[in-house]
Structure 1
Amino acid sequence: MWDTLVGQRHVIDGLAEAVAGHGMTQSWLFTGPPGSGRSNAAIAFAAALQCPDGGCGECHECRTVLAGSHADVRLVRTDKLSLGVDDIRELVRAAALAPAGERWQIVIVEDADRLTEQANNALLKAVEEPSPRTVWMLCAPTVTDVLPTIRSRCRLMTLATPSTAEVAGFLERSLGVAPELASYAARASQGHIGRAKALARDEDTRRRRRQVVSYPVRLRGLADALRCAEELTAVTKEESDAVTAELDAREKADLDTAYGVVERGRRPREYGPALRELEKQQKSRATRRHRDVIDRGLMDLVSVYRDAIALATGAPADLVNEEIRADVERLAASSTPELNLRRIDWIFAAREQLLEFNVPPQMALESMMVALAGPGAQR
């Protein structure tokens, strides 16, 4: 059960002690970089708290928690850009109820960093004064992503980025991935477990990443910058659409069935508003998913410039992009570490525009690519 927490021994030990009654509290905050396993840690902890044996991984309690079907464990994740006050108020009401079983009522909020200000205020009192048998588990990238008054009332569990060797070993053990492919996926994912799985399993994912990491040596002027921005927008949209299309179709089919559209061949009056609400939610989810995929692409770009800096300065670390070492060497030879540091800053500025200020992706990426291909770019 704890096996999914790759490279997190200190977290596993701390949670196991809490399950045994040492340092247990009713409000927890799990932080860590993307892909480190924040929500997996919270779910495994919830299973251990519900398990009579402290987390055997085999009993009915463990299996239902891990499968997401336990009556007393509620996992909240959002496909929207934010979690609103109505969502949290409903959670707070549910958390105030006594658990159906003999142990805990557990609420896991996977995207605590996406709470609106009103939602944070609604959550504060529940975290501050939880019901006697209620446990709150909040997940966020960093402690600063959570309201100070909330995080001060939580016990903090910080997950680290697992090493390349740890991720590769996990892929070999759990998925049976060949060592060479496991090593590539572990390096390219930069410690992101979900990304590593996708890279190990799917050739299309590997193809899209190869395209993204080719951009630095292709940026020779304005035309190249605009072309690469257009390509990056398209390739990330392709990947996000591949994830959401099947889910959108399934939700639409479920809605049609619920309103009898399939059987009766006509649409009742209530169907129209329900369909519009579904389409609104799906559009919001698609927007968030696209931005998340772009964000991963930007971090792939950062890895190339970091590799170039490492080569230029003689840093002993292995290259993330070993498979394109020749391109990285060209980049290092045709620029300076100082310029590549500025390029990384420009990429992070684009991330901020996308994720914090909701700038349209095409516009943010064009501005970034023009900066990357500006003075000092290869000629």
Structure 2
Amino acid sequence: MASVGGVWAEVVGQDRVVAELAGAVADPTAMTHAWLFTGPPGSGRSVAARAFAAALQCPTGGCGQCQSCHTVLAGTHPDVREVVPEGLSISVSEMRALVQIAARRPSSGGWQIVVIADADRLTEGAANALLKAVEEPTARTVFLLCAPSDHPDDVPVTIRSRCRLVPLGTPPPPAIAAVLAARDGIDEETASWAALVCGGHVGRARRLARDTEARMRREQVLALPLSLRGFGEVFSAADDLIGSAEAEAADVAGSRDAAEREALSVAMGSGGTGKGVASAQRGAKAAERELERRQKSRATRSQRDALDRALVDLAGFYRDVLTTTLGASVPATHPDRAGDTRRAASTWSPESTLRRLEAVLSCREALEVNVKPRIAVEAMLTILYRG
């Protein structure tokens, strides 16, 4: 069995999962052609799948040092393809193209591997295209699917029944703090704080520990519950939440969008001469519209992901208030906001706190079904104000 080091070092706080996956790499009889990695956000579903893919292609089972390990983890291995939806869903055309490639024989590694990072975003057509491939796989093809759960709302039962389930749990704070300190060079105090307030999300812990703006956004969100003293604050807070999400999405997309537009311009013959330039430029408008569509979809997804992170923080605050009111002996989601939590618990009834918590969760659900963000957020904040 491979050691816990190598490619497995990135899989934080999941010793049981690492042992199972490393065992499958070492023992061909333990392998299967389709795996479903489930777990809450930040548990490391796609990280575990990627490490597994690297270990399968590695001559020594996941050393983390060879060319195969490096290229898989970098996303450049010719026999490993990872689907990370940039928009709101994974289309049927994208999945059909991927399935065709997956049916080929491996060119350099031992396996042809497909990693689907958000299988819960498959459209119905895409799921059907994937199902056929999973039902009749080629001998050296492996599908690694990642989703929040194996519930039919996330993964169709027909696909789930053909996969080996790998459930991941929420990594404990000490494990997160240890990896932040050892791998990212973050000081012990900051690493411990980030691990405690990240909600078990390793990526979020890293952002909070290293990004001043991420910490400021969190502070602004957690200041909201006790700052709503009138409807003026409600609409102002809605502007702030949505504006912050838009700004965060724009920061993520800015340089990438510009680079994609520049690359397309060159590909379409901008500044060139010769016989092929005119025909290439005739197709440029259609290509530009398609690029704009993809970038817009990606920006929408990024904005909603940023807004959802804020809602998760808010839900954690109201959860802390409720547990404080009821005297429950459970770890706080936001231990650094204990003063605000006690203040709110002394003012709000358990019923009003629960209504506020339900309003936040309902807002998350509304955004998932494409309700306009401003409408959903203003409705939520009205309930947060009224209680």
Which range, TM-score by smaller chain? over 0.9
| 1:224 partner letter | E
Q: Summarize deviations over 1:123-152 as a string: whole Å, max 9, x none.
A: 111111200110011111111100100000
What is the aligned partner in structure 2 of residue 19 from structure 1? 25
The sequence identity of aligned pairs, in percent, is 49
Q: Summarize deviations over 1:49-94 as a string: whole Å, max 9, x none.
A: 1111111111111111111111111111111111111111111111
| 1:347 partner letter | V
What is the aligned partner in structure 2 of residue 254 from structure 1? 263
Helix, strand or coil: the match of 2:225?
Answer: helix
TM-score (normalised: structure 1): 0.95
User: Which of these residues, 305, 320, 345, is aligned with residue 333 of structure 2?
Assistant: 320
- Once residues 101 and 250 of structure 1 are traced to their aligned partners in structure 2, the CA distance between those partners, rounded to angstroms, is 31
What is the aligned partner in structure 2 of residue 103 from structure 1? 110
Correspondence 1:165 to 2:174: yes
Matches within 5 A, 1:187-336: 187-262=196-271, 268-336=281-349
TM-score (normalised: structure 2): 0.93
* CA-based RMSD: 1.6
| 2:377 partner letter | L
- Once residues 159 and 338 of structure 1 are traced to their aligned partners in structure 2, the CA distance between those partners, rounded to angstroms, is 33
| 1:228 partner letter | A
CA contact (8 A) 2:13 2:172 kept: yes
- Once residues 336 and 321 of structure 2 are traced to their aligned partners in structure 1, the CA distance between those partners, rounded to angstroms, is 13
Matches within 5 A, 1:86-97: 86-97=93-104
- Once residues 183 and 212 of structure 1 are traced to their aligned partners in structure 2, the CA distance between those partners, rounded to angstroms, is 21
Correspondence 1:4 to 2:22: no
CA contact (8 A) 2:355 2:383 kept: no
Correspondence 1:184 to 2:193: yes
- Once residues 173 and 298 of structure 1 are traced to their aligned partners in structure 2, the CA distance between those partners, rounded to angstroms, is 30
Correspondence 1:141 to 2:148: yes
Structure 1 residues 52 and 119, CA gap change in structure 2 (3 angstroms): same
- Once residues 362 and 109 of structure 1 are traced to their aligned partners in structure 2, the CA distance between those partners, rounded to angstroms, is 31
- Once residues 190 and 177 of structure 1 are traced to their aligned partners in structure 2, the CA distance between those partners, rounded to angstroms, is 18
| 1:343 partner letter | R
Q: Summarize deviations over 1:11-45 as a string: whole Å, max 9, x none.
A: 10110111112521010001111111111111100
Correspondence 1:120 to 2:127: yes
Helix, strand or coil: the match of 2:333?
Answer: coil
User: Which of these residues, 51, 55, 75, is aligned with residue 44 of structure 1?
Assistant: 51
What is the aligned partner in structure 2 of residue 361 from structure 1? 373
Shift of 1:318: 3.5
Shift of 1:158: 0.8
What is the aligned partner in structure 2 of residue 76 from structure 1? 83
Q: Which runs of 5+ in 1 are unaligned?
A: none
| 1:308 partner letter | V
- Once residues 350 and 71 of structure 2 are traced to their aligned partners in structure 1, the CA distance between those partners, rounded to angstroms, is 51
CA contact (8 A) 2:38 2:167 kept: yes
Runs of 4+ with deviation above 6 angstroms: 264-267
What is the aligned partner in structure 2 of residue 352 from structure 1? 365
- Once residues 111 and 153 of structure 1 are traced to their aligned partners in structure 2, the CA distance between those partners, rounded to angstroms, is 17
What is the aligned partner in structure 1 of residue 385 from structure 2? 373
- Once residues 31 and 296 of structure 2 are traced to their aligned partners in structure 1, the CA distance between those partners, rounded to angstroms, is 40
Shift of 1:262: 4.7
| 1:328 partner letter | T
What is the aligned partner in structure 1 of residue 60 from structure 2? 53
- Once residues 109 and 207 of structure 2 are traced to their aligned partners in structure 1, the CA distance between those partners, rounded to angstroms, is 39
Structure 1 residues 162 and 102, CA gap change in structure 2 (3 angstroms): closer
- Pairs aligned (count): 374
Q: Which moved more, 1:316-325 or 1:196-205?
A: 316-325
- Once residues 210 and 81 of structure 1 are traced to their aligned partners in structure 2, the CA distance between those partners, rounded to angstroms, is 28
- Once residues 210 and 142 of structure 2 are traced to their aligned partners in structure 1, the CA distance between those partners, rounded to angstroms, is 36
- Once residues 138 and 107 of structure 1 are traced to their aligned partners in structure 2, the CA distance between those partners, rounded to angstroms, is 8
- Once residues 76 and 322 of structure 1 are traced to their aligned partners in structure 2, the CA distance between those partners, rounded to angstroms, is 36
Shift of 1:205: 0.8
User: Which of these residues, 327, 337, 358, is aligned with residue 350 of structure 2?
Assistant: 337
